[in-house]
Structure 1
Amino acid sequence: MKPFLDPDFLLHSDTAKRLYHDYAKPQAIIDYHNHLIPEQIAQNTQFENISQVWLNGDHYKWRAMRTHGIPEKYITGDASDRDKFRKWAETVPYTMRNPLYHWTHLELQRYFGITEQLNAASADRIYDQTAEQLQQPSHSVRGLLKMMNVEVLCTTDDPLDNLEHHQAFAKETESFQMLPAFRPDKAMAAEDLGSLNSYIDKLAELSQQPISNLAQYLDALKARHDYFAANGCKLSDHGLEQLYAADYTEAEVASIFLKLRSNQALTASEVLQFKSAMLQYFAAWDHEKGWVQQYHLGALRNNNARMLAQNGPDTGWDSIGDFSQGQALSKFFNKLDSTNQLAKTIIYNLNPADNELFATMIGNFNDGSVRGKMQFGSAWWFLDQKDGMTKQINALSNMGLLSCMVGMLTDSRSFLSFPRHEYFRRLLCDIFAQDVENGELPDDIEWLGKLVSDICYHNAKNYFQF
């Protein structure tokens, strides 16, 4: 019987151990998509306790606690940090076979050297041990990132963000880069006229120019896109149910914009036309600048209206959706490709039923101009666990070239989530090694090690041109 979380965790052969320890583990981390708070990095925040750095904002843990019957008071409510941690510790033993069990103990080991299992009995002891370490410079926000050998991280930022914290950080000499990523979802959300018009008003104020027609709107958004580029941005990101690829004319979109600015209700088809047009504009700007565009597709968000009203979005009320993806993906990419405006692209699916669809779609638009130009992104959100990662890796291997993949990301709001890269790397090495053990791949450790190190680091380094 193997010990729990030993140095060879998830590595089931000598080949896997060699691939991981010699080739994957030494690679620095490029975390090109996360939801970390730039201000905390720029100010090098020192958290008082583990609840603040570990539980605040982590809807993965919140969902598990609610399922276990923990009252909201101890999740997003006004309970003390210690009491919230106690309730999480009480929940942890019941998360076995959920990835949270692995992540929890990996993170305690990697950041704090704690190998004791977290439960109700150990809660106070671990809370105090971690609080003591979190007061040390080694465990400041930047210290935590350096501990994980982070080289680049890209935050997720709204076009209206002034990027002041990125600017402040860029003036310092640090061992890693923090760069913004352009996330314009709110700028195209025509299904909510009140929110969209409020957003446009804020953009007008920021631009110091009136926005009453489509041309003015696009000019103002393009100026923000330029501003992000001037501040080191190399990526955009979109979080959508699906890509939108409705037919439209410029005149129709201009008319729709006038209608929405006068708060006239849009038809469902007009909403789709507006969204489709905005995505095309954003994609053309990304191509013009040589950015990488990312599309996170398939989340069915905000399902619980009562709890959404109480806690707001991104608090644990989302699920996998079953949206139709194929035709819109094809039509959207084909339109951009036909005018040679298809940028380097990463598509992420949330429904595992779409794995093979996404893995084959990228092959339709890999034209030889850039190695791995079209990417089937790593397993995302509900899928970034052992089974989900394995299925994504296998689908990409079978339908495309795993060797061109740009690796893992955290997609996280927590500074303690970077062992997810380790988790992915261990699984990757074990999958390659299993094929060697089965006689399905040659026992060429040097070559396999090159492929592994490329997927873990070098492919991303070259693809994003960091």
Structure 2
Amino acid sequence: MTSRPWTLHPDRALPAEPAQRSIARELYQATAALPIVSMHGHIDAGAIARNDSFGDPAELFIIPDHYLVRMLVSQGFSNSDLGVRPRDPAAPFETDHRLIWRRFAENWKLYRGTPTRYWMEHELVEIFGITEEPSAATADVIYDELTEALAKPEFRIRGLFDRFNIEVLSTTDAPDADLADHAALAAEGWGERVVPTFRPDAVFYPDRAGWRAAVDRLSARSGVDVGDYAGFLEAVQQRRFAFVAAGARATDHGHLTANTTPLDRAEAERIFAAALNGPVDAASGEAFAGNMLFESARMTVDDGLVMQLHPGVLRDHAASVHETYGPDNGFDIPVAVEYARALQPLLNAFGHDPRFRIILFTIDETVYSRELAPIAGAYPAVKLGAPWWFLDSPGGMARFRELVTETAGFYNTSGFVDDTRAFASIPARHDLSRRIDAGYLSKLVAEHRLTLDEATETAVDLAYHLPLASYARR
């Protein structure tokens, strides 16, 4: 007996209740084909400039996807087993990509109920036409089918960029980035499609390893002598203007807390001078970083970049994994965040200034209704970012709408961001967001709290118009 080909249900992630599902289906259809506005992510601009191919399935789906990797690590695999290259060039790691794919396929059931399962299903079926679910028995067949597809010109990154209907994609870039890849893309007419984002975290925390080297690179790239705090501020502002000239629309700040307390000038100068001469303690580092968020807001008033703040992640929780594999591999773990008092200095100074814009993200959903929605519902400079990291899941997205909308409404939110390094997952992530929003709106229609026309307009705005407006150049 031949099994039926693997297909995806057209109503996946829509409400189970029949009346709501019917409405949600209509709302989803209004957004399904809209262009993707991807304003927060980590795709390499160089890969797009070179029009790279993805090599093989392990290189595309597994090695760059920290969601997927950490699940397998939680079940006893090491990062090396999954092809993640250690810092030590002499250290062994798995280079047999077919074996890496087998390890994933044999453990497909681990992803049941997770957003990774949804994304992978979408990618494999909708993009690559795979007709069998991953398993130990199908691993090699799927690997060969994917490898054959990835060798075709239309599956290089620019071909997929067009196929995914990406209107604009924002990368995330260090303050000393030369932006040469963005310049090359702009010369080819891609300047409005792929834009940089200024991410200065490495130079804002003087207590962290590598800070002095990052400051030296900032000085070299900007051409500004960073021998004191004044020179440091000048160099940061100079690089921000360079990013604006390269098409940037936003800055991005991944701090541990939301502290935005400005320091007395003499204290900021003291901490900076001390850091140039040796390590400073964590309290000084946090105080300086909070001061630099305030300074970043001031600079935003001048250069027009949108400020993105997403605190509350304890980075590289596993010290040994971080030491072995480097940043972004040591497991990020959410922590509680306080926003109302922490943001008060910044918002008192800039929250009603029409030249200032800030988008707040969180992975501490306990603050949605208590702090973030009331802040966004009051300050014209503030929008709430989409559920992010651990909350970009069906349940996380649904809870966000339930907890935020009654206070902040829909139009004080910024629309969805995918925040991914896994390029092929971008359309899957946006598709899931559109389905969850359709489900939430269908409930309002079913309860006669919105008309169908209002819900349709809102769904389209959430998927497309709001992210464009939230990140528009000033």
Matches within 5 A, 1:76-91: 76=84, 77-91=93-107
In the alignment, structure 1 residue 240 sits paired with structure 2 residue 255: yes
Structure 1 residue 341: Cα displacement: 7.7
In the alignment, structure 1 residue 309 sits paired with structure 2 residue 316: no
Structure 1 residue 353: Cα displacement: 1.4
In the alignment, structure 1 residue 429 sits paired with structure 2 residue 442: no
Corresponding position of 2:344: 330
Corresponding position of 2:335: 321
In the alignment, structure 1 residue 379 sits paired with structure 2 residue 354: no
Q: In the aligned structure 2, how far is the partner of 1:162 from the partner of 1:174?
A: 17
Corresponding position of 1:151: 167
Q: Deviations over 1:40-59 (max 9, x none)?
A: 01111012211111112211
Moved more, 400-409 or 32-41: 400-409
Structure 1 residue 342: Cα displacement: 6.6
Structure 1 residue 335: Cα displacement: 3.0
3-state SS of paired residue (1:30): strand
Q: In the aligned structure 2, how far is the partner of 1:291 from the partner of 1:324?
A: 25
Structure 1 residue 262: Cα displacement: 2.0
In the alignment, structure 1 residue 16 sits paired with structure 2 residue 19: no
Q: In the aligned structure 2, how far is the partner of 1:209 from the partner of 1:403?
A: 41
Structure 1 residue 177: Cα displacement: 0.4
Distance 1:319 1:208, change over 3 A: same
Q: Which amino acid aligns with 1:181?
A: T
Corresponding position of 1:297: 311
Corresponding position of 1:5: 8
3-state SS of paired residue (1:273): helix
Distance 1:351 1:337, change over 3 A: closer
Distance 1:210 1:313, change over 3 A: same
**Contact in 2 for aligned 1:60/1:316 (Cα 8 Å):** no
**Contact in 1 for aligned 2:361/2:386 (Cα 8 Å):** yes
Q: In the aligned structure 2, how far is the partner of 1:66 from the partner of 1:271?
A: 32
Q: In the aligned structure 2, how far is the partner of 1:337 from the partner of 1:404?
A: 14
**Contact in 1 for aligned 2:262/2:292 (Cα 8 Å):** no
Q: In the aligned structure 2, how far is the partner of 1:84 from the partner of 1:94?
A: 15
Which of the numbers 361, 371, 395 marks the counterpart of 1:348? 361
Q: In the aligned structure 2, how far is the partner of 1:332 from the partner of 1:175?
A: 32
Q: Which amino acid aligns with 1:54?
A: F
Corresponding position of 1:227: 242
Which of the numbers 450, 453, 458 marks the counterpart of 1:451? 458
TM-score (norm 2): 0.90
Corresponding position of 1:93: 109
Q: Deviations over 1:171-218 (max 9, x none)?
A: 1135960000000001111112x5221122222222344321111111
Distance 1:406 1:244, change over 3 A: closer
Distance 1:353 1:115, change over 3 A: farther
Corresponding position of 2:229: 214
Matches within 5 A, 1:107-256: 107-174=123-190, 177-192=193-208, 195-256=210-271
Q: In the aligned structure 1, how far is the partner of 2:226 from the partner of 2:80?
A: 43
Distance 1:166 1:123, change over 3 A: same
How many pairs are equivalent? 452
Corresponding position of 2:470: 463
Structure 1 residue 269: Cα displacement: 4.4
Structure 1 residue 101: Cα displacement: 1.5
Q: Which amino acid aligns with 2:417?
A: L
Structure 1 residue 4: Cα displacement: 6.6
- The Cα RMSD (Å) is 2.0
3-state SS of paired residue (1:237): strand
In the alignment, structure 1 residue 388 sits paired with structure 2 residue 400: no
TM-score (norm 1): 0.92
Matches within 5 A, 1:270-289: 270-289=284-303
**Contact in 2 for aligned 1:30/1:461 (Cα 8 Å):** yes
Q: In the aligned structure 1, how far is the partner of 2:32 from the partner of 2:414?
A: 16
In the alignment, structure 1 residue 408 sits paired with structure 2 residue 416: yes
Distance 1:176 1:91, change over 3 A: farther
Q: In the aligned structure 1, how far is the partner of 2:266 from the partner of 2:360?
A: 30
In the alignment, structure 1 residue 50 sits paired with structure 2 residue 57: yes
3-state SS of paired residue (2:414): coil
Q: In the aligned structure 2, how far is the partner of 1:191 from the partner of 1:30?
A: 36
Identical amino acids, percent of aligned pairs: 28
**Contact in 2 for aligned 1:378/1:409 (Cα 8 Å):** yes
Distance 1:403 1:440, change over 3 A: farther
3-state SS of paired residue (2:351): helix
Q: In the aligned structure 1, how far is the partner of 2:231 from the partner of 2:337?
A: 33
Distance 1:4 1:430, change over 3 A: farther
Which of the numbers 277, 282, 298 marks the counterpart of 1:262? 277
Q: Which amino acid aligns with 1:434?
A: K
Distance 1:403 1:87, change over 3 A: same
Distance 1:181 1:201, change over 3 A: same
**Contact in 1 for aligned 2:391/2:397 (Cα 8 Å):** yes
Q: In the aligned structure 1, how far is the partner of 2:255 from the partner of 2:222?
A: 26
